[in-house]
Copies of this chain bind each other. A is one copy, B any other.
Amino acid sequence: MHDDEDNPALGHHLILDIWGKVNNTPFFNMDRAAIIFESAAKEAGATVITANWHHFGEGMGYTGVVVLAESHISVHTWPEKGFAAVDVFMCGNADPTLTMKTLLDFFEAISYKSAVLTRGLK
Chain A contacts with B in 71-104, Cβ cutoff 8 A: 71-72, 74, 76, 78, 81, 83, 85, 87, 89, 91
Beyond A10-B78, A72-B76, is A87–B85 a contact (Cβ under 8 Å)? no
- Write the chain B residue with the least CB distance to A15: B117
Q: In the complex, A54 Cα to B72 Cα: how many Å? A: 11
Complex Cα distance, B45 from A86, in Å, reads 22
The CA of A38 and the CA of B78, in the complex, are separated in Å by 24
Q: How large is the interface on A (under 10, 10 to 19, 20 to 34, 35 or more residues)?
A: 20 to 34
Interface centre among A50, A67, A83 (most CB of B within 10 A): A67
13 A–B contact pairs at CB < 8 A? A10-B83, A15-B117, A15-B119, A17-B119, A50-B54, A52-B52, A63-B71, A65-B67, A65-B72, A71-B74, A71-B85, A74-B74, A87-B89
